[in-house]
């Protein structure tokens, strides 16, 4: 997808008032066009790698190669976790790909519980790929659907900008405790991807914000979370098990994530996106 | 006064027992001896007539004659204000309003500067929340400055917020550890305990109390919103006590707990400033670091009550387990008021008050056990239903004392194995050290500790 194409489409959408920018002067809206377009490229890049990586992951499952499938689980998800800030733009796919057993009254016993976490559950808890074929096929279909939707998707600025904070809210509310990847304990991979995704948005819109103290604070909080995570990184760029995370570090992460959520919650307002 | 209680008061004096009833003394036996007994003896909450001239303390509310564990009168008004500035923090000897919360946090602070920043912010928020005022209005494109739970103007509503520090705050920080209050430890697991890690311990406790539950909730949310970089919440427990208007003669009674008994009857008199110095506030008399003077130890216990089972227990047995009458709170050896004082010396075999009755074990009322006094300021809690379909209710027990070992710990050790244990299960809580108060505006909570800690970290050879 070319940058110019996206830029034209976005400018058009903004000028028409699509995406909730009505209240803004066109001048302010236009300023948002470039970072939004950049962000769309970022998303498209990651959905494209998501498709590639998922193909390999699904291949391993179909080959019955449990160990290979396990090793590909976290790196594959990582692509998705990076674009999670805007998951509400494709909520149906998010539910299908990334819901958790708790989202179903019957938990793991519910056949509708599918997606990444169903596969994770079977790989780690049952140590097999048996019975996973239909879930793997569905995952791949969803991923391909997501990738094809992205190019046509309107990116409302308040959703993108708001997404940076929303993801921190999610981490604070249901991830920091290690609920997300409870079978594989690969939560730290997700954390990093979530921070990356949220920081990307902040970095893109930062030039439009006229408050150095605020910027410095957000940057230092991001730096702090990466510093904590660095202690858990493995040589191949992955992460050790969530169980290795000390209470003290979990507390620091939790405090920083909440602080980031608090700070980033002002981002929309600061950009005039009420 | 009943004939009985007069006899008891007299008897108490005969062998120098400090537990003479203060009311009896004032009504009948007052005089030089009575006054002396008052000063040197234990004056209990329910023994203090409301008419007695009160000792002056900094806080107006503390001179109202109400006792810490009195049932709130219901005359509470959202404009009621408990002063924030003072030698001691509010919320310890302040009469308990209808609702309370204890919340426990872990603290993220790497050095004394971080900790100081946290204390200063906390001080600002508490000063504002407890005194009230207008909420700042921000650009509506931004999240509002305040949750709005109390509307655009915060009424103080009798709110107090009391800050305590836990053992782990000191233990996990080498620069703070040398300054830990001498008796502060991680709350041990007592024999009847089944502590739930998710409701136990913590680096910092906040006790909120106010007329309305929403006032506490609002304050808690304000602090969570304003101090995210320092405070990570561990657990919280809400509670309340029934509101009971004073009787026509102005007398107030202790609130009842969820076992249906008056709770707080025999608390030490919180209006007796000298007694509070002795029993509650840490000062030169105590073997504690100087920064801690003006503070006190807080023991919090979340104690589940097996209420279904209790309600199926014969009344007589209930009363023998507690050691008081259920309908009026009077001791089992006579009288019909909760203010009466039991005379254990006259009942050495426990024929009237069993030797293992809760109140007799908790306070045998001998010269020696006087050093084990504490001030209880509990709330009742109701947390819904257990997995077995039973009511999850109990007591949010909160006790204050200058000497934690002689106070809570010793009393709990005496209570270990008591018959009441069949009906209760402590599941959470923690020990905390309540910081000294903030004497005046510009100062902040924890300053004395920060100064002590900064001194050590400066002294350290680099
Ligand atoms: C759910 C648990 C508990 C219940 C239901 C309970 C109930 C009572 C009741 C009804 C009284 C008599 C009224 C009064 O003087 O306040 C009392 C007194 C007392 N309780 Fe408890 N209590 C509990 C736990 C504790 C604990 C954990 C301690 C301390 C370790 C404690 C210490 C005392 C003391 C010191 C007294 C006063 C005894 C006196 O001076 O006569 N209680 N309690």
Kind plus residue range of the DSSP H or E element containing B410:
helix B410-415
Which of A220, A258, A263 is best to mutate for the B interface (most B CBs within 10 A)? A258
Nearest to B106 among A251, A258, A262 (CB): A251
Give mean pLDDT, residues A178-191: 95
The distance of A4 to chain B (nearest Cα, Å) reads 31
Pocket test for ligand 1, best of B360, B362, B417, B431 (most atoms within 8 A of CB): B362
Given a contact cutoff of 8 angstroms between Cβ atoms, the answer to whether B48 and B269 are in contact is yes
Smallest CA–CA distance from A255 into chain B, residue? B229
Specify burial of residue B388 (Cβ count, 10 A radius: 0-12, 13-18, 19+). exposed
Q: In which band, very low, low, confident or very high, does the pLDDT at B423 lie, cut at 50, 70 and 90?
A: very high
In the numeric block, which tokens belong to residue B253?
């009674």
Say whether B257 counts as a known binding-site residue.
no
The reply to whether residue B232 touches residue A251, judged by beta carbons under 8 angstroms, is: yes
Task: Assess whether pLDDT exceeds 60 at residue B219.
Answer: yes
Q: How many CB atoms lie within 10 A of CB B251?
A: 13
How do residues A125-172 score in pLDDT, each as one tens digit? 999 999 999 999 999 999 999 999 998 898 999 999 999 999 899 899
How do residues B284-294 score in pLDDT, each as one tens digit? 999 999 999 99
Q: How many CB atoms lie within 10 A of CB B414?
A: 17
Pocket test for ligand 1, best of B359, B363, B398 (most atoms within 8 A of CB): B359
Residues of B with CB under 8 A from a CB of A: 106, 108, 139-143, 172, 225, 228-232
* Residues β-bridged to residue B429: B200, B301
* Rounded distance between C-alpha atoms, residue B398 and residue B380, angstroms: 11
The number of CA neighbours under 13 Å toward the Cβ of A244 is: 15
Q: How many CB atoms lie within 10 A of CB B181?
A: 25
In the numeric block, which tokens belong to residue B458?
């400066």
**What is the widest separation between alpha-carbon atoms in chain B?**
74
* Rounded distance between C-alpha atoms, residue B44 and residue B268, angstroms: 4
* Rounded distance between C-alpha atoms, residue A199 and residue A218, angstroms: 9
Nearest to B143 among A255, A258, A266 (CB): A266
Say whether B383 counts as a known binding-site residue.
no
Q: Give me the percent of chain B exceeding a pLDDT of 90.
A: 77
The strand pair at B133-134 and B391-401 is best described as unpaired
The two counts, helices (H) then strands (E), for chain A are 11, 0
Which of B137, B229, B230, B234 is best to mutate for the A interface (most A CBs within 10 A)? B229
* Rounded distance between C-alpha atoms, residue B180 and residue B167, angstroms: 8
Q: What domains can be seen in chain A, in order of their start residue?
A: 34-154 (1.20.1420.20), 156-230+238-273 (1.20.1420.20)
The distance of A258 to chain B (nearest Cα, Å) reads 6
- ipTM value > 0.85: no
Pocket test for ligand 1, best of B253, B266, B420, B426 (most atoms within 8 A of CB): B266
SS (H, E, C) B241-282: CCCCCCCCCCCCCECECCCCCECCCCCECCCCHHHHHHHCCC
The reply to whether residue A269 touches residue B141, judged by beta carbons under 8 angstroms, is: yes
In the numeric block, which tokens belong to residue B11?
């008897």
In the numeric block, which tokens belong to residue B328?
């009026």
Q: CB-based contacts of B299: which residues, under 8 Å, 6+ apart?
A: B187, B374, B397, B398, B399, B400, B401, B404, B407, B408, B429, B431
Q: What is the pLDDT of residue B308?
A: 96
Nearest to A251 among B108, B141, B142 (CB): B108
* Rounded distance between C-alpha atoms, residue A4 and residue A11, angstroms: 10
Read off the pTM.
Answer: 0.86
Task: Assess whether pLDDT exceeds 90 at residue B50.
Answer: no
Which of chain B's residues have a Cβ under 8 Å away from the Cβ of A262? 225, 228
* Rounded distance between C-alpha atoms, residue A37 and residue A3, angstroms: 7
Which of chain B's residues have a Cβ under 8 Å away from the Cβ of A255? 108, 228-232
Given a contact cutoff of 8 angstroms between Cβ atoms, the answer to whether A162 and A215 are in contact is no
The reply to whether residue B229 touches residue A258, judged by beta carbons under 8 angstroms, is: yes
How do residues A11-57 score in pLDDT, each as one tens digit? 545 444 444 444 444 555 788 999 999 999 999 999 999 999 999 99
The reply to whether residue A258 touches residue B172, judged by beta carbons under 8 angstroms, is: no
Mean pLDDT for chain B?
A: 87
The distance of B237 to chain A (nearest Cα, Å) reads 19
Task: Assess whether pLDDT exceeds 60 at residue A62.
Answer: yes
Q: CB-based contacts of A83: which residues, under 8 Å, 6+ apart?
A: A42, A43, A46, A47, A197
Q: What is the pLDDT of residue B348?
A: 96
Nearest alpha carbon to residue A195 among A81, A97, A94, A91: A81
Tell whether ligand 1 has an atom less than 6 A from the beta carbon of residue B305: yes
Work out the angle at residue B116's Cα, subtended by the Cα atoms of residues B115 and B119, and round it to the nearest 5 degrees.
90
* Rounded distance between C-alpha atoms, residue A213 and residue A228, angstroms: 23
* Rounded distance between C-alpha atoms, residue A31 and residue B39, angstroms: 76
Instruction: Report CA(B263)–ligand 1 centroid distance (Å).
Output: 7
Q: What is the pLDDT of residue B73?
A: 79
Q: How far apart are the first and last CA of chain B?
A: 70
Residue whose CA is closest, atom 34 of ligand 1?
A: B362
Nearest alpha carbon to residue B100 among B204, B200, B211: B211
Q: Which SS3 state, helix, strand or coil, does residue B436 take?
A: strand
* Rounded distance between C-alpha atoms, residue A120 and residue A112, angstroms: 15
* Rounded distance between C-alpha atoms, residue B381 and residue B387, angstroms: 17
* Rounded distance between C-alpha atoms, residue A179 and residue A190, angstroms: 11
The reply to whether residue A256 touches residue B229, judged by beta carbons under 8 angstroms, is: yes
Rounded to 5 degrees, φ, ψ at A76 are: -70, -50
Given a contact cutoff of 8 angstroms between Cβ atoms, the answer to whether A13 and A19 are in contact is yes
- Looking at A55-59, B33-37, B126-130, B131-135, which range is the least confident one? B33-37
Q: What is the pLDDT of residue B457?
A: 62
The reply to whether residue B232 touches residue A258, judged by beta carbons under 8 angstroms, is: yes
The two counts, helices (H) then strands (E), for chain B are 12, 11
Q: What is the pLDDT of residue B9?
A: 38
In the numeric block, which tokens belong to residue B413?
């050790």
Nearest atom in ligand 1 to B69's CA? 16
Q: What is the pLDDT of residue A105?
A: 92
Length of chain A: 274
* Rounded distance between C-alpha atoms, residue A163 and residue A268, angstroms: 10
Instruction: Report CA(A184)–ligand 1 centroid distance (Å).
Output: 48
Q: What is the pLDDT of residue B56?
A: 31
Given a contact cutoff of 8 angstroms between Cβ atoms, the answer to whether B96 and B266 are in contact is no
* Rounded distance between C-alpha atoms, residue B200 and residue B198, angstroms: 6
Q: In which band, very low, low, confident or very high, does the pLDDT at B44 lie, cut at 50, 70 and 90?
A: low
In the numeric block, which tokens belong to residue B439?
């004497």
């Amino acid at each position: 997808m070319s940058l110019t194409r996206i830029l034209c489409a976005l400018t058009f959408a903004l000028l028409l008032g699509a995406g909730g920018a009505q209240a803004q002067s066109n001048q302010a809206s236009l300023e948002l066009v470039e970072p939004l377009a950049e962000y769309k490229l970022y998303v498209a890049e990651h959905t494209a790698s998501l498709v590639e990586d998922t193909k390999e992951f699904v291949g391993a499952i179909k080959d019955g190669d449990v160990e290979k499938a396990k090793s590909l689980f976290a790196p594959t998800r990582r692509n998705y976790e990076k674009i999670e800030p805007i998951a509400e733009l494709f909520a149906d796919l998010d539910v299908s790909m990334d819901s958790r057993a708790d989202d179903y009254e019957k938990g793991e016993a519910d056949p509708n519980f599918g997606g990444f976490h169903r596969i994770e559950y079977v790989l780690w808890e049952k140590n097999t790929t048996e019975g996973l074929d239909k879930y793997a096929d569905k995952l791949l279909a969803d991923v391909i659907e997501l990738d094809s939707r992205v190019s046509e998707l309107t990116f409302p600025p308040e959703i993108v900008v708001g997404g940076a904070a929303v993801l921190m809210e999610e981490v604070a509310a249901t991830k920091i405790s290690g609920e997300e990847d409870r079978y594989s304990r690969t939560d730290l991979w997700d954390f990093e991807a979530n921070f990356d995704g949220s920081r990307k948005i902040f970095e893109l819109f930062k030039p439009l914000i006229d408050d150095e103290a605020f910027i410095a604070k957000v940057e230092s909080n991001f730096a702090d979370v990466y510093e904590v995570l660095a202690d858990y990184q493995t040589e191949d760029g992955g992460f050790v098990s969530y169980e290795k995370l000390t209470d003290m570090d979990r507390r620091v992460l939790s405090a920083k994530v909440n602080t980031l959520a608090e700070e980033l919650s002002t981002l929309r307002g600061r950009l005039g996106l009420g | 006064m009943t004939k009985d209680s007069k006899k008891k008061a007299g008897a108490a004096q005969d062998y120098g027992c400090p537990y003479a009833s203060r009311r009896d003394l004032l009504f009948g036996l007052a005089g030089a001896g009575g006054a002396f007994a008052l000063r040197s003896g234990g004056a209990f909450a329910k023994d203090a007539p409301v008419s007695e001239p009160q000792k002056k303390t900094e806080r107006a509310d503390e001179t109202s004659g109400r006792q810490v564990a009195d049932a709130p009168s219901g005359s509470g008004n959202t404009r009621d204000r408990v002063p924030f500035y003072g030698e001691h923090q509010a919320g310890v000897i302040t009469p308990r309003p209808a609702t309370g919360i204890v919340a426990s946090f872990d603290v993220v602070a790497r050095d004394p500067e971080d900790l100081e920043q946290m204390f200063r912010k906390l001080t600002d928020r508490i000063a504002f929340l407890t005194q009230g005022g207008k909420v700042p209005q921000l650009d509506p494109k931004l999240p509002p400055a305040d949750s709005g739970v109390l509307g655009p103007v915060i009424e103080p509503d009798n709110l107090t917020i009391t800050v305590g520090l836990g053992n782990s705050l000191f233990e996990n920080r080498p620069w703070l550890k040398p300054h830990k209050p001498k008796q502060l430890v991680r709350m041990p697991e007592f024999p009847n305990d089944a502590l739930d890690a998710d409701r136990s311990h913590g680096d910092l406790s906040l006790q909120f109390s106010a007329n309305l539950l929403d006032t506490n909730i609002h304050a808690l949310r304000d602090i969570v919103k304003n101090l995210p970089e320092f405070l990570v919440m561990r657990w919280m427990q809400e509670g309340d006590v029934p509101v009971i208007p004073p009787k026509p003669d102005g007398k107030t009674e202790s609130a009842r707990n969820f076992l249906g008994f008056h709770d707080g009857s025999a608390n030490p008199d919180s209006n007796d400033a000298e007694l509070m110095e002795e029993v509650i506030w840490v000062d030169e008399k105590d073997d504690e670091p100087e920064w801690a003077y003006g503070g006190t130890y807080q023991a919090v216990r979340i104690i589940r009550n097996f209420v279904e089972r209790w309600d199926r227990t014969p009344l007589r047995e209930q009363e023998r387990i507690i050691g008081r009458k259920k309908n009026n709170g009077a001791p089992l050896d006579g009288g019909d008021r909760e203010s009466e004082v039991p005379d254990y010396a006259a009942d050495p075999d426990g024929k009237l008050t069993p030797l293992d009755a809760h109140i007799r074990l908790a306070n045998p009322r001998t010269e020696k056990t006087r050093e084990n006094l504490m001030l209880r300021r509990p709330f009742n809690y109701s947390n819904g239903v257990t997995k077995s379909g039973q009511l999850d209710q109990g007591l949010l027990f909160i006790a204050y004392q200058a000497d934690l070992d002689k106070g809570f710990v010793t009393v709990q050790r005496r209570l270990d194995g008591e018959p009441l244990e069949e009906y209760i299960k402590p599941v959470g809580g923690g020990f905390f050290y309540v910081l000294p108060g903030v004497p005046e505006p510009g100062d902040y909570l924890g300053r004395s500790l920060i100064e002590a800690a900064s001194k050590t970290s400066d002294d350290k050879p680099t």
